[in-house]
Amino acid sequence: MLKNDLFLRALKGETVDRPPVWMMRQAGRYLPEFMELKHKYDFFTRCQTPELASEITVQPIRRYGMDAAILFSDILVIPQAMNIEVEMKPNFGPYLPKPIRTAKDLEHVVVPDIHDSLGYVLDAIKMTKEKLNDEVPLIGFAGSPWTILCYCVQGQGSKSFDLAKGLCFSDPKTAHILLQKITDTTIAYLKEKVKAGCNAVQVFDSWGGMLSPVDYQEFSFNYIQQIVDALKDMAPVIVFGKGCWFALKEMANSGAAALGVDWTCSAQNARYLTGGNITLQGNFDPARLLSPPVEIKRMVTQMIREFGKDKYVVNLGHGILPHIPLENAGAFIEAVKEYKE
C-alpha cells in the first residue's frame, strides 16, 4: 500500500485536502547530486544502467518529497529499441546519424521485443520501487509517436521540424507506417512498464504544437488515442501536448485520466475547453522558477486557486530548467504542501 496516494487520488478526481505536486524533469539536471553522476557517466549509460536510473529517480524525492516520482529515462530509447541509431551529443542534444526519410529507410525499422531491447528500463523500475519503499507512486513515460517521428526524420532537434512535416505531407503513407510502428512499440513498452511497477504513465507530445489542428488529428492524436485505449484499463494515462490547447476538448474525451497544460493556456481556458470534468496538470512557466522564492509561493498559491484544488495536479508547464536555484524549486513544492483553502 502506498503511504502517499494523493497523486493517484487526484487522477481519479477524488476530493483532496490539497493538490499533489511533482515537476516534469524533476529527476535531473538542476540537482547537484545528479550533476555528480553526469560528470562520471554519459547520458545513455545513465539511462541504460538500472542502478543509476533508479538512483536519479529517487534523488528529488529525498530532497523535496514530491508526491510522485518519474522514472529517469528518455523518450528516444524507443527509436533505439526499433533499430534506429540515436546519439546524445554534449552541447548539441539528440543526433540520429541515419534519419528516416524514405520508404526504403523503413526496411530496417522493427517493432522490438520489449524485454530484449528495453529490459534495462524494466529493471530500473523494479529497483526504483524498492528504493521508494511505497512512499509515493512511480510514473513511467513515453514520447508521443509524432514527437518521436520528428526526431527520427529530422535527425536532430529543430525549431520547425520542416523535414519531419515534409515527409508527412509529401509521403503520408511512409509517415503513417512509421507512426504505427512507433505506436505499437510504445504500447508494448508502456504495458511492460506498468507490469513492472509504474502506477501511472504520461505521454509527452512535446512537438504536437508544431502541427495545425487538422494535421494534429491525423499525424498525432490518432496515435495517442491508440495508446490511451490500450493502457487506460491498466493504469491512469496523462496526456501532455505542449502547445496543443486547440485539442484539449478532444483529449478530454479520450479516456485519459488527466491532461497536461502548458503555461500559454490559462486555468480558466483549460477548464472551459475540457468541460471541467477531467483532472488537469500544470502549468507554471518553468522560467518563473527564476523569480524570488516568496514570489514563487504567491504565484503557485494563485495558480491552485485558479485551477481549484480538486481534479488538479500541480506541475510546471514543461520541464524544469537546468539553472534553477535549489531554494526556488523547494519554494514551488513547499507552496503546494502548505496550501490551505
Per-residue pLDDT tens digits for 177-217? 999 999 999 999 999 999 999 999 999 999 999 999 999 99
d(CA 261, CA 281): 6
Residue 189 lies in a domain: yes
Rounded to whole angstroms, the Cα distance separating 10 from 26 reads 19
DSSP bridge pairs for 87: 95
What is d(CA 70, CA 229) in angstroms, rounded to the nearest whole number? 22
Helix (H, G, I), strand (E, B) or coil at 87: strand
Confirm or deny that 44 is annotated as ligand binding: yes
CB atoms inside a 10 Å sphere around CB 103: 12
Number of domains in the chain: 1
Backbone dihedral angles phi then psi of residue 313, each to the nearest 5 degrees: -120, 120
pLDDT at position 314 is: 99
Residue 196 is assigned to a structural domain of this protein: yes
At residue 286, the pLDDT reads 98
pLDDT at 273: 98
Per the annotation, does 46 bind a ligand? no
- The answer to whether position 272 is within a domain reads yes
In a domain, 1, yes or no: no
Q: Residue 212: which residues within 8 A CB-CB, separation 6 or more?
A: none
Residue 307 inside a domain? The answer is: yes
Q: Which residues contact 263 (CB under 8 A, 6 or more apart)?
A: 282, 283, 284, 285, 286, 288, 316, 317, 318
Given this model, what pLDDT does residue 163 score? 98
Q: What residue ranges of the chain have pLDDT lower than 50?
A: none
Distance CA 99, CA 87 (A): 12
The four Cα atoms 77, 210, 266, 65 give a dihedral, to 10 degrees, of 10
State which residues form the domain around 329. Answer: 6-337
Judge whether 176 is annotated as a binding position. no
18 is in an annotated binding site: no
- Specify whether the CB–CB gap between 151 and 204 falls below 8 A: no
The reply to whether 151 sits in an annotated binding site is yes
CATH of the domain at 302: 3.20.20.210
Quote the pLDDT of residue 111. 98
Answer whether residue 267 is part of any domain: yes
318 is in an annotated binding site: yes
- Say whether 255 counts as a known binding-site residue: no
140 carries a ligand binding annotation: no
Is 247 annotated in a binding site? The answer is: no
Residue recorded with cell 524485454: 115
Structural domain includes residue 290: yes
Burial letters 115-144, b for 16+ CB under 10 A, else e: eebbbebbbbbebbbeebeebbbbbbbbbb
Has residue 224 been placed in a domain? yes
pLDDT on residue 341 = 86
The grid cell for 114 is 520489449
217 assigned ligand-binding residue: no
